Amino acid sequence: MQRPITVSERNFLNISVDCVVFGFDDNQLKVLLIEQDKLSETHIPMSALPGDHVYIGEDLDEAANRVLKELTGIQGLYLKQFHAFGNPDRTKGEKDSQWLRQVRKDPDAHIVTIGYYSLVRMEDFNPVASSFAKNTDWVDVNDIPDLAFDHNEILDYALEHLRADTENNHISFELLPKKFTLGQLQQLHELILDKKLDKRNFRKSIKKLDELIPLNEKQTGVYHKPAQLYSFERNEDK
């Protein structure tokens, strides 16, 4: 027999979604973080991934898109579910407990979170903080501070999945400007995979992709020999 829903559970489940949004800019792989709003004089805000509870009756994918929009203003992304995190102590840190006591009716509840990740061209989005997010910031993945809850672990898992997907599906195209050079593409792969790639072998492999479209254009405003520009076109867009 299903137990009745208590007052503290009526609006949402003890399930949350956390979104890892990767962007590429200035030759750096970055991730979108929020800063928690300061709720009291004693509260010390922490940086965190955009995340919040799932409402009762709400689809997980829809919840991820809703939460990202509510906290950062970003919408319309393809968010890929990559892992569930259910350690019963994942929200029990001192600063985390202090935060939850201010915003949750049951701050000691066991919260399971579902991780989602997405790839964006940073030039296409201008995040705007709202709800309990005081600020938003793009942070280099090599300069990540201590995050709220288990968000450092969630980010590490997302990076692993991004690397695997990059090797298998070349989805790193999503992070590039609409027009890019093969040098930029290789640099992005090296940043994601955290290793150097042989230039000749990389170009030989990447040029086999039907989605890679050579353009009748070259770089402008550079001091070296201008490189040819390329674009990415999904098969379903052709």
Q: Above 90 in pLDDT, residue 43? A: no
- Determine the Cα–Cα distance for residues 179 and 218; give it in Å rounded to an integer: 10
What pLDDT band is residue 2 in, cutting at 50, 70 and 90?
Answer: very low
Query: Structure tokens of 84?
Result: 């569930």
Distance from first CA to last CA of the chain, Å, rounded?
53
| Higher-pLDDT residue of 2, 190 | 190
Strand, coil or helix: 237: helix
Q: Which of 80, 71, 73 minimizes the C-alpha distance to 148? A: 71
What pLDDT band is residue 99 in, cutting at 50, 70 and 90?
Answer: confident
For the stretch 200-233, pLDDT in tens is 999 998 888 888 999 999 988 778 888 999 998 8
For the stretch 100-142, pLDDT in tens is 777 777 777 889 999 999 988 888 889 999 988 899 999 999 9
Q: What is the pLDDT of residue 3?
A: 39
- Determine the Cα–Cα distance for residues 20 and 159; give it in Å rounded to an integer: 9
Pick from 23-27, 72-76, 147-151, 194-198: least confident: 23-27
**All structural domains of the chain:** 12-169 (3.90.79.10), 178-237 (1.10.10.10)
Q: Above 60 in pLDDT, residue 9? A: no
Query: Structure tokens of 174?
Result: 């999503």
